[in-house]
Structure formats: structure tokens, C-alpha cells
Chains A and B, each alone.
Chain A
């Protein structure tokens, strides 16, 4: 019944970013974004190529979500963070395998794939990148 809580085509279109951390790189100014943008937010160029981004980075800032939007209730409390990847690209992502009180600015994190949203018993299971504290 709730099979279409979330847009299946929108999820499918974002799979390169969600599964493989593929973003966009502006061929004119070098700025990188995740997900890929059609127009560079820095210089306005439309000359964008798809690139795989590094899978490690550090937490710049974060927030703890207690009141989640629909479809995310089961995961509360969870942490969303602004992460600077090793090449300087900034991405916004959930953190996983970590308690809110353990998260620190500057914490080193790495990409994993996890479930992000499950549409009831009959709908799509959406997976995406999340970041967790580096192993070891």
C-alpha cells in the first residue's frame, strides 16, 4: 500500500552517488559536488564531468536528529554531518555505527553503504552511503 512513500525514479537516478560516491567535477574551476550538479555552483559552468570521490574524510559539523521525517523514525536518534572528504569536497551524510555523544568535530570517518529508508513492508528499500568512524 505504501510502496511509493518515496520516489523510486528519484532514488534510481541517484544510485551513482548513493552506491559509488560519484559526484560532479567542474572542468573549468575544479569544484566538486555530491551529488553531481548540472551547473557549477561556484563558477556557473555547465562543463561538468562525473568523478568518483574519496571514501574517507573528517566531520566538520553535525546535528543530532530526534524528530525524524517520515520513513526515518526507526533510526532516531541519528547524526547527520557535514563531512570534508580527503580531496576537500564537502558532503552531507548520516553517520552510522556511532552514538551521538561519541561524535566529535574532526572525527575521521569512512564511507559504507547502509539502509537509509524502508518503505513499509511492501515498498522499496533505499540504500545509500553513510559514514562511520574509521576502523581500528
Chain B
């Protein structure tokens, strides 16, 4: 898919909560030996949202950072889309709160706003929508956020990786951009690898579908088709970013496609903060943009369970180095950390119900 008007990234921003829990501590909570899982998951610790944090508060700070780099006023934003699978409300759009908090669309709030849902690829799906709006000339600037406070059932394998964080991107016309999104392409099928039913607190997943039929098939198909569309090969890219449900899968899928690990590792953030779901690939892209140089090419391929992948071909432009230092970088948030034990983690995630949660005292 290519827009008739070229569109790019004007600004980007990240937010990761400061709290961390070590995988070893999570295993200890359930009487398990982390050494048995470490090589298969390759995530040593994960971020934990504070007791007063959720997808909206994460999206807000990431968006403020994106606005600082974009150097535009929020009133210029005419589309605000939040991709998440951990909406604060089942029914009340997170984007409404973000629009009002930022002042998007100016005093009259003349902007579209919506929440997007597609498991871990909701954020990149929102980027494609804004690509279309700007690419067709309907609007000039739009904001998209991929953020989550991901749920992993206590004691389940997902508990080692389900974390919190997000990234925000302000898109605009290519001549105002520091990185141009030259093309995008998606691949979607009905693959029941992971889901969460209405009113359920935690998702279910089918082990047999998780790897090959879901993650690997969709990412490799989207990546290969996009490279065929662009006439490119893995050697043409300086960086490759894949959805990061754990530390192992992105390296494996990248290697299978023909990318060397040194092109994948700069955008591989999950080993330090866990899987931020809708934020996952987008936080990885932000870490790469934090250090990218003009002329470099980036391949981004997200993955969302259910299942599908969105692939993007991005070329970095002159001027990116001027904006990299205008807001805290991804690694600033990654290195800002304080460890909590399982009890505090359970309290912060509100896994423990208190008297006032259900009694009329």
C-alpha cells in the first residue's frame, strides 16, 4: 500500500513505567525454577505499571514526548488513535481523554479519535489509518499510540513477559518528516493463537498455534511481500524490528528472513522491559529512531494475535539528529528502574481485591 501523497514520521515518543520485576521473582512466587525457562523466554525482567498508571497515562506521556520532537502544537492534530488491548474502559474511548489532555484539534477539538484493537498490532494498524488520511490529503497531522498494560494470568507462562509501556508517533507530510514511510503492507488470517473473551481478566492461548502458524507465518509473509513490492532485500536495510513477545522470536524470525542479529538487536527492547503488546514493535522502532542517521532504511513488522502482521518500509531523512535529543530517549526510560517483589507487583496490578472494592462499608 502506498499513499498518493508521501507521509512520514514527524515526531516520536516513548514511555515505560519505572517499576520492574525480575523473572526470577515471578518464578519464585509460584515455586518454579526460572533457570528452566530463561533460555526459552529470554526476558530477564519486565516493567510493571504503577498503582496509578494505565494505558491512558502511558499514552499521554509518550504523546507529550512525540509532540516535543515534532515541534508542532497539539492543535494541529486532526486524528488521534490509540491502539491497545488494555483499555481503561470497555466502553469509553481512550482517545477522548488523550485528545482533551493534549488539546488536540485546537479549542474546538476538531479531530477524529478512536481506539484500535488487534491484539499486539493495534498500534501499527492505527498508523496505517493515519497514513491513509494524510496520504489522501484529508488531514496534515495525526497522532497514533500503541500502549498496553498487558495481562498475563498469575502463574501462566505469559506472566513472565506481559508488561507495560507504549510509544507515540506523530505523522505528517513527507517534507515535514524526519523519516518517510514509503510503503506498508498487511497479512491477516483467522488463526486462533490467543484471545480474551468479554469480561475475562486474563487471555487464553493455544501453545500449538503460538509459534509457526501465527507469529512466524504472518511476519515472514508480510515482510517478504513488502520487500517484493519495494524491490528490496534484507541487505538493503540497516535495521529490522519485529514484534517482540519474548527475546527469542524476533531474532529467530529475523535470521530466517536473512537479517543479521546486529540489525535486529538495536530495536530489541523486550529482554529489558518485557512485552508491551501494542507498544512492542513501536517501542523497538523508537529505540532505533533515537540513534538512526539520515539515509538509513528500516523494516518494521508487527504481529497481532488472531492473527496478522503489518510491515513498513521506512527511510530516515535529514534533520532526524536535531530532534533525537528533544525528549527522553527509549533507553532513558529503560534504565530508569526500581525493582518490586511479587507482593507489590500483585498490589500494583490490582490482583488483590481489598475490602472497599466490593463492600459497602
Contacts and interface: CB of A to CB of B under 8 A. Distances in A.
Interface of A: 1-2, 15, 19-20, 70-71, 73-75, 96-97, 112-116, 120-121, 125, 127, 130, 135-136
Given A73-B356, A75-B51, A136-B332, A125 B88 contact: yes
B197 interface: no
B57 A127 contact: yes
Nearest to A71: B356
B153 interface: no
Given A74-B350, A74-B354, A19 B100 contact: yes
B224 interface: no
A115 B57 contact: yes
A8 to B, nearest CB: 12
A103 B52 CA distance: 18
A2 B360 CA distance: 9
Contact of A120 (B89, B332, B357): B357
B350 to A, nearest CB: 7
B234 interface: no
A19 to B, nearest CB: 4
Closest 3 CB pairs of A and B: A114-B52, A19-B101, A115-B52
B266 interface: no
Interface residues of B, number: 26
Given A112-B61, A125-B54, A130-B52, 20 more contacts: A2-B360, A15-B100, A19-B100, A70-B356, A73-B354, A74-B350, A75-B52, A112-B57, A112-B60, A113-B60, A113-B61, A113-B101, A114-B52, A114-B53, A115-B57, A121-B357, A125-B88, A127-B56, A135-B328, A135-B336
Interface of B: 18, 50-54, 56-57, 60-61, 88-89, 97, 100-101, 103, 328, 332, 336, 347, 350, 354, 356-358, 360
Nearest to B356: A73
Contacts of B52: 75, 96, 114-116, 130
A128 to B, nearest CB: 10
A101 to B, nearest CB: 13
B61 to A, nearest CB: 6
Contact of A127 (B61, B97, B336, B356): B97
Main secondary structure of the interface of A (DSSP, over half): mixed
A67 to B, nearest CB: 13
A20 B332 contact: no
A134 to B, nearest CB: 11
B18 to A, nearest CB: 6
A115 B53 contact: yes
Contacts of B332: 135-136
11 contacts: A1-B360, A15-B100, A19-B97, A96-B50, A97-B18, A112-B60, A112-B61, A113-B56, A116-B52, A125-B88, A125-B89
A71 B54 CA distance: 17
Contacts of A113: 56-57, 60-61, 101
B50 A97 contact: yes
Contacts of B56: 113, 127
Contacts of B53: 114-115
A74 B52 CA distance: 9
Nearest to A120: B357
A2 B361 CA distance: 12
A104 B54 CA distance: 27
Contacts of B336: 135
Nearest to B100: A19
Contacts of A15: 100
A121 B56 CA distance: 17
A19 B354 CA distance: 28
Nearest to B348: A74
Nearest to A129: B101
A80 to B, nearest CB: 13
Contacts of A70: 356
